[in-house]
Amino acid sequence: MLEVVCGLMLDADGRVLACRRAPGRSMGGFWEFPGGKIEIGEAPEQALRRELMEELAVDVKVGEPLEPVVWEGDTTRIRLSPFLCRISGGTLVPIEHDEIRWCAWTELADLEWAPADRPIVNEFITRNS
């Protein structure tokens, strides 16, 4: 099982950051919550802060966890563990994604999400509606 973390980054208006995976990468063109694989010896929150610095050049304060999602593809099995978080430093720059977008919760459902992220979108919508 591949352990992956992702961040639902919230701004002051309660919008959340959606990120589109660049073409040529796995799941290219699909939207995701930013994050990545937990490395050996890392705590999930620590992995999330490292990944968000690598991918978006920001420091975050990690908050409440949401329900993890187990997703099985043809060759992969991942557990995606989401956390609410807020930017605490740095300037947002998309380093690995080809587009990033602050979305109100009402706008999330219309994006084409990576499969493991979709249930997290649904949980976030339910919490906000």
Ligand X SMILES: Nc1nc2c([nH]c(=O)n2[C@H]2C[C@H](O)[C@@H](COP(=O)(O)OP(=O)(O)OP(=O)(O)O)O2)c(=O)[nH]1
The angle formed by the CA atoms of residues 109, 2 and 81, to the nearest 5 degrees, is 45
Task: Tell me which amino acid residue 86 is.
Answer: R
> d(Cα 51, Cα 55) in Å, to the nearest integer?
6
Sites for ligand X among residues 38-97 (CB under 6 A): 71, 73, 76, 78, 80
Counting contacts by CB under 6 A, is residue 22 touching ligand X? no
Number of residues that bind ligand X (CB under 6 A): 17
Q: Evaluate whether 120 touches 6 at the Cβ level (below 8 Å).
A: yes
Q: Please choose, out of 8-16, 29-37, 56-64, 85-93, the segment that lies near ligand X by the rule CB under 6 A.
A: 29-37
Q: Please choose, out of 26-34, 60-68, 84-92, 103-111, the segment that lies near ligand X by the rule CB under 6 A.
A: 26-34
